[in-house]
Homo-oligomer: A and B are copies of this chain.
Amino acid sequence: MEPFTFILLELAFIIGLAAVGRGIALHLNQASVLGELTVGVLLGNILYWLGAPLATVIMHLEDTQKLVNEVWVSGAAIDEAASRVFTAQELAAGGIANELVTLLVGPHATEILLMTISLWIFSNLGVILLLFMVGLENSIAEMLKVGPRSLMVSIFGVVTPFFLGLLASFWLLPDASTPQHLFLGATLCATSVGITARVLGDLEQLKSQESRIILGAAVIDDILGLIILAIVIGIISSGSVQMLEVGRIVLLSGAFLVVVMLFGEKLVSWSVRLFYRIFNKLQVKLLFPLALAFLMAAFTNYIGLAAIVGAFAAGLIVLDEHFEGDSDTSPTTQDLINPIQTLFAPVFFVLMGMQVNLESFLHTDTLWLAAVFTIAAILGKLVAGYAAGKGINRLAVGLGMVPRGEVGLIFASIGKGLGVVDDSVFSAIVIMVVVTTLITPSLLKWSLERSTPYIK
């Protein structure tokens, strides 16, 4: 069989399983994304216990990336590449690096890698399209209306978890250094908006005030988080705040936001009119918005923000009225992008589930640490929700900010690389990320349905 056949089988399998997960979740009156996550957790861990190479590689995606990268950067054999990026402990028999080296050599190694890479590509594409769709549901004007509330939520959503994290760290890790305490606090600041966006979309709540506050706060949160990370890294690596780096982030992020807010919609409107003269309508309505989303996602990632922030901003500035002159029955940009998103976004959530190693919950010594971090992480964001002000469902806003997702994991692995996060703390952070991510869909759904009983 050609290698691509394995990718087709894998994609068909994930599509099918994700649909089953959604079906079961809806049957149990849970958020459908929880079904996809759970399917991923079960699939990943069962295959992992059975010793399936693909599941092991996916569960250790970051280590695999490091190893594969080193093989190509250095041109060395995989054994030697592994000895450069892993510790002696990881390389010992039974260690993860040892296992990866064994799995990534052999007659099926190429297929395993290609299947992993394709899942990673589809998953990344999926979450970018998801946030682009979420952006399409809203506009700059609507976001600005809730701007002050979003700002308050994001400031409190960064400050409160930071201090709660510091407190927890001082209490439970009295021997840790100041940089270690600071880094742990910073790790709790992150917000990953993917899960929340999906729940809000499934409940058709994307145009509600609560949604807009959460989405706006998530964008600001991403910028604040990046600044805090830069400050903490500066303190750790050079003992002082790197004002140049902080200034660069503030300037670039600020410039991006200003350009998007002031000129974004006009630039899109002008481009659409230009392209309508050259290309056919389907292309302008589908391919131009997609290319814009990809380029803006690449740009925000280039300046250090999450790619999904750019995709969301692209969605905000593409408006249906830009394409007027079309008949009312012709599909909108949303109609056209929805099928692509429906195909790929579930891959993101299944893959996220597959990376949860249930074994990490078995170490009782880290569980206590994890429990306290998790409570600090949740409490911190609930306080932030309270800062959203009166007249709205503040609990829902807070709950919407709770998931740490991949952002928390990125922080934790940077800390691991800097030597301020040891294995036990890292496991505790992973558990915190998993728990905040897995509990959110159901709680958010419950909170929104309670306050607006008419939603389905």
Query: Do B121 and A297 touch (CB < 8 A)?
Result: no
Query: Do B75 and A5 touch (CB < 8 A)?
Result: no
Task: Chain B residues near A19: list those with CB within 8 A.
Answer: 279, 283, 287
A interface residues (Cβ-Cβ under 8 A, vs B): 1-2, 4-5, 7-9, 11-12, 15-16, 19, 22-23, 68-69, 71-80, 101, 104-107, 109-110, 113-114, 117-118, 120-121, 124, 128, 278-279, 282-283, 286-287, 290-291, 294-295, 297-298, 301-302, 307, 329, 331, 335-340, 342-343
Q: Given A73-B105, A298-B5, are A23 and B279 also a contact pair (CB < 8 Å)?
A: yes
Residue of B15, B80, B297, B302 near A77 (CB, 8 A) is: B80
Q: Given A72-B109, A75-B77, are A335 and B343 also a contact pair (CB < 8 Å)?
A: no
Complex Cα distance, B15 from A117, in Å, reads: 21
Task: Chain B residues near A72: list those with CB within 8 A.
Answer: 104-105, 109-110, 113
Q: Given A72-B104, A78-B75, are A294 and B340 also a contact pair (CB < 8 Å)?
A: no
Nearest B-chain residue to A80, judged by Cβ: B77
Query: Do B109 and A73 touch (CB < 8 A)?
Result: yes
If A15-B287, A23-B279 are given as contacts, then 17 extra A-B residue pairs at C-beta distance below 8 Å, sorted by A number, are A1-B301, A4-B124, A8-B128, A8-B298, A9-B295, A12-B294, A12-B295, A19-B283, A19-B287, A69-B110, A72-B113, A74-B105, A75-B78, A75-B79, A76-B77, A282-B338, A286-B342
Query: Do B339 and A73 touch (CB < 8 A)?
Result: no
Query: Do A107 and B279 touch (CB < 8 A)?
Result: no
Question: How many of these chains are in the complex?
Answer: 2
Task: Chain B residues near A11: list those with CB within 8 A.
Answer: 294
Nearest B-chain residue to A4, judged by Cβ: B124
Task: Chain B residues near A5: list those with CB within 8 A.
Answer: 297-298, 301-302, 307
Query: Do A287 and B77 touch (CB < 8 A)?
Result: no
A-B contact pairs, 26 of them (CB 8 A): A1-B302, A4-B120, A4-B124, A4-B301, A5-B302, A5-B307, A7-B124, A9-B295, A11-B294, A12-B290, A12-B298, A15-B287, A15-B291, A16-B291, A19-B279, A19-B287, A75-B104, A76-B77, A77-B77, A77-B80, A283-B342, A331-B331, A336-B339, A339-B339, A339-B340, A340-B340
CB distance from A103 to the nearest CB of B (A): 10
Query: Do A294 and B9 touch (CB < 8 A)?
Result: yes
Complex Cα distance, B10 from A291, in Å, reads: 10
CB distance from A347 to the nearest CB of B (A): 12
Query: Do A22 and B109 touch (CB < 8 A)?
Result: no
Q: Given A2-B301, A294-B9, are A114 and B113 also a contact pair (CB < 8 Å)?
A: no
Nearest B-chain residue to A69, judged by Cβ: B110
Task: Chain B residues near A283: list those with CB within 8 A.
Answer: 19, 22, 342
Query: Do B343 and A286 touch (CB < 8 A)?
Result: yes
Nearest B-chain residue to A339, judged by Cβ: B336
Residue of B101, B107, B114, B294 near A117 (CB, 8 A) is: B114
Task: Chain B residues near A8: list those with CB within 8 A.
Answer: 128, 294-295, 297-298, 307
Nearest B-chain residue to A6, judged by Cβ: B298
Query: Do A75 and B105 touch (CB < 8 A)?
Result: yes
Query: Do B290 and A343 touch (CB < 8 A)?
Result: yes
CB distance from A252 to the nearest CB of B (A): 13
Complex Cα distance, B340 from A69, in Å, reads: 31
Query: Do A339 and B75 touch (CB < 8 A)?
Result: no
CB distance from A255 to the nearest CB of B (A): 18
Nearest B-chain residue to A102, judged by Cβ: B75
CB distance from A290 to the nearest CB of B (A): 7
Nearest B-chain residue to A128, judged by Cβ: B8
Q: Given A1-B302, A8-B307, A329-B329, are A339 and B337 also a contact pair (CB < 8 Å)?
A: yes
Complex Cα distance, B110 from A301, in Å, reads: 18
Complex Cα distance, B11 from A19, in Å, reads: 28
Query: Do B12 and A291 touch (CB < 8 A)?
Result: yes
Task: Chain B residues near A120: list those with CB within 8 A.
Answer: 4
Complex Cα distance, B12 from A302, in Å, reads: 15
Complex Cα distance, B342 from A286, in Å, reads: 9
